[in-house]
Amino acid sequence: MSELDGKVCLVTGGAGHIGRAICEALLSEGAQVVAVGRREPSRPIESDGNRAAFYAADLRDAVASQGLIDHISERFGCLDILVNNAGGGPPVAAASASPELTQKIISLNLLAPLVLSQQAHALLTKTNDVASIVNIASVSGARGSPGTAAYGAAKAGLLNVTKSLAMEWGPRIRVNALIVGLVHNDAGIEHYGGDEGFRRVADMLPLKRMASPEDVANAVLMMCSDRAAYISGANLEVDGGGEVPVFLHLANASSTAK
């Protein structure tokens, strides 16, 4: 029997590329999973005969997120694991981004996970076991984020929130973040300039590949397990070793051309 067997888990952005993998990983460990998103997925989220429940909500609305917590309280009576995965934002030059777009991006990537965590606090402390929050952050929050300034700023804020909540809410709740690097998504290959550009970018990483959604899901499982019992306030880098500085590639390319 898995140590996560029967645990009640809430995964925001559960129908997305990474969110589905996280839900499936938790389901495979016997957890009870509630996936949240604005639109119900076209196919059920399931693994090993277990299926996630789906709850439709726009978590930028604090009333809607409170309704979600009330629903979990009524259905399960407690919450063991919260994965704040919902996020994202379109690339746009900072000088061209409207105030409305900037506010929406920061609301989704920073305010929504913070408010939902606050609203979930009582449920997370309802059992005698130590609960876990895992925030899905990004390398964009740990370095400059040209073209996605609001997104990067929000994810940087989420990393700070992670450490602050870990300090406030221990020992009853462990709070950690994953700093996720480039993730392989077939639908996004064109963003890297097609197959050739995609391979060049992947080859730049020390592990010579982008992360799969399952890589992120496995890191979530680790952070929620008893093996991470003394880990809280951590920002774990899930980035294949990190992005090698561009100037080194340019220097190497220059040397090769001579």
Catalytic residue among 55, 151, 192, 230: 151
Nearest Cα neighbor of 18 from 4, 32, 31, 37 is 37
Contacts of 201 (CB under 8 A, 6+ apart): 182, 192, 210
> Longest Cα pair distance anywhere in the chain, in angstroms?
69
Q: Is 151 a catalytic residue?
A: yes
Determine the Cα–Cα distance for residues 119 and 77; give it in Å rounded to an integer.
Answer: 14
Query: What is the DSSP secondary-structure string of 170-224?
Result: TTTEEEEEEEE--B--GGGGGGGTHHHHHHHHHHHSTTSSPBPHHHHHHHHHHHH
- The answer to whether the CB of 143 falls within 8 A of the CB of 136 is no
Instruction: Please identify every residue annotated as catalytic.
Output: 151
